[in-house]
């Protein structure tokens, strides 16, 4: 069931008022990792004045894949995330 979700890695979703991108499916942990869209677009690591790597973005979130009451179903968080899928725009129309 979760294998099909790997096709969604890199896709954008509106989830709880923010745009997120699926970055990883952790099958062994039965979890899905999402990152804020802003974090996935800004791949550069910015150093502070002391040379320490810093980021100015929200942290990734890990969502449970399976419903604890019915392991053959996705969790409510995953269903909410999937309902907010943002369709890919044709190139040149951003």
How confident is the model over 33-84, as pLDDT tens digits? Answer: 999 887 666 655 566 677 676 655 568 899 999 999 998 899 999 999 999 9
Domain that holds residue 50: 2-83
Cβ 25 vs Cβ 34: under 8 Å: no
In a domain, 70, yes or no: yes
In a domain, 91, yes or no: no
Total domain count, the chain: 1
The pTM is what?
Answer: 0.74
Number of alpha carbons in the 13 Å side-chain half-sphere of residue 54: 7
CA dist., res. 5 & res. 24, Å (int) = 9
């Amino acid at each position: 069931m979760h294998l099909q979700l790997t096709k969604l890695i890199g896709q954008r979703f509106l989830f709880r008022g923010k745009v997120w991108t699926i970055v990883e499916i952790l099958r062994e942990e039965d979890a899905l990792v999402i990152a804020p869209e802003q974090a996935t677009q800004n791949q550069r690591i910015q150093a502070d004045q002391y040379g320490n790597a810093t980021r100015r973005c929200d942290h990734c979130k890990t969502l449970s894949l399976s419903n604890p009451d019915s392991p053959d179903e996705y969790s409510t968080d995953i269903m909410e995330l999937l309902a907010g899928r943002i369709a890919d725009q044709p190139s040149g129309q951003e």
